[in-house]
Amino acid sequence: MDDFMEDIDEKERLKGDKKIPGRILLRRALAYVRPYAGKLALAGLLIIMNVALDIALPVITSKMTDNLSSDALDLRYLITMAVVYFIICMMNNLFLYFESMILQKAGQDTVYDLRMDVFSHIEEMSRSQFAEMPVGSLVTRVTSYTQSMSDLFTNVIVSVIKNFITVFGVYVMMFFISWRLALVMLAPVSLIFVSSLVFSKYVGRAFRDERKRISELNTFMNETLSGMKIIQIFNREKKKSEEFDERNDSLRRSRFNVIKGFGVYRPFVTFVFVSSLAAIFWFGVKLGLTPGEIVAFYLYTGRFFNPVQQLADQLNNIQKALTASERLFNLLDVKPEVRDAEGAEDIGEVKGRIEFRHVWFAYEGENWILRDVSFVIEPGQTCAFVGATGAGKTTILGLIVRNYEIQKGQILIDGKDISKIKIKSLRSAVGQMLQDVFLFSGTVRTNIVLHDETVSDERVREACRYVNADGFIEKLPNGYDEQIIERGENLSQGQRQLISFARTVLHEPKILILDEATANIDTETESLIQESLEKIRSIGTMLVVAHRLSTIQHADQIIVLQNGEIIERGRHQDLLSNHGYYWKLYRLQFEAGA
């Protein structure tokens, strides 16, 4: 299996489009079932007892029929057999209940484990990997595909096993009643078996295509809903409606291909079943079977073909589950690009000294974003990065917290290579305040503490006072318990930024990153944020990216980047006196402001 997985192209695996052999899918799926093998074994025993009792019922019916058709009617015998029939039915249903409960519990526990593995794996993926895999596709895999796997564990596999046992047991009983008539039944059985194989191959392709179309539609919907504001501003509703119609039609046609397969298969199985019933009566009379034996054969034929037809119906769910598991395991096989190195350690006590040593970085190939970048930021200093869009400013901030891995050079914090520091430990020491603040659905308080219930209300209020966020929060109708809608759309951008400052300060990081944190904010809120920043500077080392040069005049060090290289560095006044690139940028902004 390992050799097979190594041959899979990484991008194909990431998209989940690479076919994985069914035996490997089944083996990997069963690995999740193994912890609950005891429960499944008990359920298997109940299944066997359930099938055995069910197979016994036609025998009782046969005996009662023969008694009714005989000249010497034995009423006491009939009543006794009816009571036995009733008791068997009650026991059968009791076994069925316990069997279902055990299977559902084991199945849901299994899918819970699988869903947690998938979600945890997604959390470990890097930024670049998220860029390659649409959010809609990931959501589909965690929700819809794991549900299909749930059906596989709780219903499909068990039903398939149960139906196979039933078919085998029924045929043994038919052979016991009349081996000659049982041999006659081999013809329709063979016909059903061959047609099922053909049907399975066809419907497998159809289901795989349907799953792909569903994922594409979910991805489109996620992107469209997220960008609905832009769509409405530029009146692109009609265009988006046409694009949705195209994807919706593709899904409709894909689903119709599945329906066509079942539309042919099910009537065919029914035709074979009805023909078999006619053959039973005709051959039964010719072979001299008793009325009871013919009735038993009739009942067994129903019990024989029903599982066969159910197996065909279950192929629907089997193919769904196999396709779902294929896409799930493709996702799980994607190795996170940024991982803890072997022997990685916690960062320990942080002073805040940051050093880049001849760092080279490219998102793809050798399209270098950073070229031989070296600098040192001493503990407690504020360092600002300046340059045109695409110069590499934000990339530097992302590399410090290992959102990406560098190709050459070293990045050190307090003399420790960050590649040898555990990722969680590294990021816990760094507070990040970005331009695009993300707030979760919930209260103001939960967005500040990020669901850390160990944080006291007083600490939350202190953090908010520290960054000047307490003013607007206390004016909200419910204060810190005010509900925030998705992405914080009921707050202004400045208010969202102040909340992000508060939650960063609350966790007391020794290194702070500000990436355009003051962009696109009104003048009144900016003054509050600037006052907050002056306070935050005392917390630890601060790295700032800002297009407004007026906001970084008091930085201890300003690094000017162009095309991924450092072309100037120094304090604000020193850089102005050099009359270089920074001086030109400052004059452009000053003249624009004037």
Number of folded domains that form the chain: 2
511-515 vs 541-545, strand pairing mode: parallel
Give the number of C-alpha atoms closer than 13 A to the C-alpha of residue 475, restricted to the C-beta side: 7
| The pLDDT value given to residue 422 | 93
Do 473 and 521 lie in one domain? The reply is yes
Do 106 and 242 lie in one domain? The reply is yes
| The pLDDT value given to residue 13 | 43
- What is the C-alpha end-to-end distance of the chain, expressed in Å? 68
| The pLDDT value given to residue 94 | 93
Do 78 and 213 lie in one domain? The reply is yes
pTM of this structure = 0.66
| Nearest to 142, CA basis, from 113, 115, 123, 117 | 115
Output the domain CATH number for residue 437.
Answer: 3.40.50.300
3-state secondary structure 381-415: CEEEEEECCCCCHHHHHHHHCCCCCCCEEEEEECC
347 vs 429: CA distance, rounded Å: 8
382-387 vs 557-562, strand pairing mode: parallel
Q: Is residue 342 part of a domain?
A: no
Domain end (from 279, 300, 332): 332
454 vs 449: CA distance, rounded Å: 9
Output 71-80 pairs: Cβ under 8 A, ≥24 positions apart: none
Do 248 and 307 lie in one domain? The reply is yes
78 vs 64: CA distance, rounded Å: 6
Q: Is residue 337 part of a domain?
A: no
565-570 vs 557-562, strand pairing mode: antiparallel
**Could you tell me the residue range of the domain that residue 138 belongs to?**
2-332
Do 322 and 385 lie in one domain? The reply is no
Helix (H) or strand (E) holding 246: helix 237-286
Specify which residues 512 forms β-bridges with: 431, 542
Are 320 and 208 within 8 A, CB to CB?
no
Q: Is residue 238 part of a domain?
A: yes
Output the domain CATH number for residue 321.
Answer: 1.20.1560.10
Q: Is residue 499 part of a domain?
A: yes
| The pLDDT value given to residue 3 | 39
Q: Is residue 340 part of a domain?
A: no
Put the strands of the sheet holding 416-417 in their side by side order: 368-377, 354-362, 408-413, 416-417
553 vs 182: CA distance, rounded Å: 94
3-state secondary structure of 430: strand
Domain end (from 270, 297, 332): 332
3-state secondary structure 128-158: HHHHHCCHHHHHHHHHHHHHHHHHHHHHHHH
Residue 140 phi, psi (nearest 5)? -60, -40
Q: Is residue 349 part of a domain?
A: no
What are the tokens at 153?
Answer: 């564990």
Q: Is residue 341 part of a domain?
A: no
Q: Taking every pair of C-alpha atoms in the chain, what is the biggest distance, in angstroms?
A: 123
Do 12 and 115 lie in one domain? The reply is yes
Domain end (from 332, 366, 386): 332
| The pLDDT value given to residue 406 | 92
| The pLDDT value given to residue 521 | 61
Q: How would you write the pLDDT of the chain (594 residues) with one tens digit per residue?
A: 443 333 334 444 444 457 778 788 888 888 888 898 888 889 889 989 998 998 888 888 888 888 887 767 788 888 898 999 999 999 999 998 998 888 888 888 888 888 888 888 888 887 767 767 766 667 777 777 777 777 777 777 778 888 888 888 888 888 888 888 888 888 887 787 788 778 877 777 787 788 788 878 887 887 888 788 788 877 888 888 998 999 999 999 988 888 888 888 888 888 888 888 888 888 888 888 888 888 888 888 878 777 876 776 676 677 777 777 888 888 888 888 888 888 889 998 899 999 999 999 998 888 899 999 999 999 999 999 998 888 999 899 999 999 888 999 999 999 999 999 999 899 888 988 877 788 888 899 998 988 788 889 999 999 898 888 888 899 999 999 999 887 777 888 888 888 888 888 888 888 999 887 666 566 666 676 677 677 777 778 999 987 778 778 888 999 999 999 999 999 999 999 999 999 998 888 776 554
Do 294 and 380 lie in one domain? The reply is no
| The pLDDT value given to residue 485 | 82
Please name the residue that has the structure tokens 């998102």: 363
Do 184 and 254 lie in one domain? The reply is yes
Do 149 and 215 lie in one domain? The reply is yes
| The pLDDT value given to residue 315 | 67
Do 113 and 238 lie in one domain? The reply is yes
Q: Is residue 109 part of a domain?
A: yes
Do 430 and 320 lie in one domain? The reply is no
Do 116 and 262 lie in one domain? The reply is yes
34, with CB counted inside 10 A (0-12, 13-18, 19+), is exposed
